Every structure is written in C-alpha cells, then in structure tokens.
C-alpha cells in the first residue's frame, strides 16, 4: 500500500463479509486499486504492465540484491498484482504463489489488472496468508507481505507467531520482505518483534516516497554484506531487473548499521 492519494475512484461492487469494498481508478494511464479508502493499494501502468509504478513495490524487490534467482516466492496480499506481473516477466524460472483473503480483490485483479496466466509458474490462492504460510517448511525462498485492510496493516501479519511461521517456511537462504508504513505509531514495535524472531538479521529499505519501508529479514546472514561487493552487484542488476539498485544501496547505508565496510546483520 502507498499513502499517495488518488483523485478519481470508481466502486467495483459492494463489500462482502465486512471486508473493505474494492474500487479502481484511472489517471494519466495509471490504473489503481483501492480498498475502502482513497489510499492506493496497487497501481499498473497501462502501457507497461510489468513496470512497478509505486516506489514501495520497487523497494520490496530490493531483496534481489541478495538472491537474484529464487526458485519459489510466496506473496501474501495480491492487490492489483504488481509484484506478480514483475516476477512473471523478470524471474522466468521462479514459481510464484499469491495469497489473498478477499475474493473481491482476486476477482478485480483478474478482470482489470492483466495478471500472468495461472498455471505451473503462477498460482492464486484465496486464503488467510497468516495461516497458509504454515504449510511451508524450509521450502520458499522469499515471502513478500503487503497486507493492508485499507486503513492499516493487518494485525495478524505483524505478530511474533506469524514471523516465526515465516522464518520456518523459508529456505536456508530465504528472505522475508514486508511493506510497512513508517508513520504507523506501532512501526518500531513491529520491528522489534521481527528482530527478535530473526535474531537481528533485519534491514530497512525506505521507498523513494510516501513513507513506506520495505523491511527485509533473513533466515541466515547473507553471503554478501560488504558495501563494495553490494555496489558491484547493484550495478550489474540495474539493467537486468529494471530497478534502481544503486539508489537502494545508498538508502540502506543511511538507515542501517554498518562497520568495517559492511552491513551489520
């Protein structure tokens, strides 16, 4: 979710079972999804659907600095499918599963947001992500969590129990990535819980705008944490993945502890 505001909205259909109603809007060639408020949950460039329009979604894919060839990615929160489209286009050997608890979100994403073809490489599951993650045991390489209810982060996706389930689900080189809003008064409480579960192996990567932060937590310490090596990797992967990895490095420097030329994890 991005905290940016969008001026034009259209209701798709009424909410069901107390879930926020789903709306879509379009402005200047950008189609956006909303959940019961003006806040943008997801956006798609109609001319280039694989482009990650919102800066927070770009920051979430910053984990590719540390693992550029994940075999399996679990997404909790489908939204308008921005990450699904990106993964399908740039990570051709990756199996991606997107979980969403809201059937309206799934229906609207399928109808209006040009999702990848569902099959061997991409699957959508209607389920509670906090429960679904428990079926994995050391078998997913990345967990991408973007779970907002239109007003705030979903509580069930911020508990130590959930973080423990996610750590258990990750492969040895796996990374957990979540999108949080730095202005949330509970932000540091969430961060402390995550650090407790992942034994401090946590990085904060602020998005370029709107106060969103991609928070990365590693099951084990990554092999590459020296700044000079990360800078080389960033240069090599910018063109390959179409993301501003060099800028990501600078943001990581500003927001995370480092010593002796490397990140402290």
Classify residue 231: in a domain, yes or no.
no
Classify residue 58: in a domain, yes or no.
yes
Q: What is the pLDDT of residues 202-243, one digit of tens each?
A: 999 999 987 999 999 999 999 999 999 999 999 999 999 999
Sign of CA dihedral 107, 83, 44, 156: positive
- Average pLDDT, integer, range 21-34: 94
Residue 186: which pLDDT band, with cuts at 50, 70 and 90? very high
| Bridge partners, residue 214, by sequence | 179, 205
- 194 exposure class (CB count in 10 Å sphere: 0-12, 13-18, 19+): buried
Tell me which H or E stretch contains 217. strand 212-218
Question: Which residues span the domain enclosing 64?
Answer: 2-223
Q: Examine the pLDDT at 10 and tell me if it is beyond 50.
A: no
Question: 160-169 and 187-197 are packed helices; what angle lies between their axes, rounded to 10 degrees?
Answer: 40
Classify residue 25: in a domain, yes or no.
yes
Domain count, the chain: 1
CATH code where residue 46 lies: 3.40.50.150
Tell me which H or E stretch contains 215. strand 212-218
Q: Which residues are catalytic?
A: 146
The pLDDT, as a whole number, for residue 39 is 84
Tokens in use for 261? 């030329």
Classify residue 235: in a domain, yes or no.
no
Q: What is the pLDDT of residues 99-115, one digit of tens each?
A: 999 999 999 999 999 99
Q: What is the pLDDT of residues 123-163, one digit of tens each?
A: 999 999 999 999 999 999 999 999 887 667 889 999 999 99
């Amino acid at each position: 979710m991005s905290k940016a505001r969008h001026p034009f909205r259209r209701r798709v259909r009424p909410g069901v079972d107390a879930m926020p109603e789903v709306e879509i809007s379009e402005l200047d060639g950008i189609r956006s999804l909303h959940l019961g408020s003006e806040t943008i949950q997801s956006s798609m460039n109609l001319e280039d659907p694989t482009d990650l329009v919102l800066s927070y979604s770009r920051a979430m894919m910053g984990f590719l600095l540390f693992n550029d060839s994940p075999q399996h990615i679990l997404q909790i929160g489908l939204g308008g499918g921005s990450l699904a489209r990106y993964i399908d286009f740039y990570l051709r050997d990756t199996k991606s599963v997107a979980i969403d608890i809201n059937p309206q979100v799934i229906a609207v994403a399928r109808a209006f947001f040009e999702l990848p073809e569902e099959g061997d490489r991409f699957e959508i599951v209607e389920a509670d992500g906090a429960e679904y993650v428990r079926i994995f045991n050391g078998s997913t390489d990345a967990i991408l969590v973007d779970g907002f209810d239109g007003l705030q982060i979903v509580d069930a996706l911020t508990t130590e129990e959930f973080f423990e389930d996610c750590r258990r689900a990750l492969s040895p080189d796996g990374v957990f990535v979540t999108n949080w809003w730095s202005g949330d008064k509970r932000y540091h409480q969430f961060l402390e819980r995550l650090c407790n579960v992942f034994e401090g192996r946590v990085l904060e990567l602020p998005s370029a705008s709107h106060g969103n932060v991609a928070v990365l937590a590693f099951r084990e310490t990554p092999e590459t944490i020296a700044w000079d090596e990360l800078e080389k990797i960033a240069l090599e992967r910018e063109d390959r993945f179409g993301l501003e990895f060099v800028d990501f490095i600078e943001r990581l420097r500003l927001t995370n502890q480092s010593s002796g030329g490397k990140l402290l994890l």
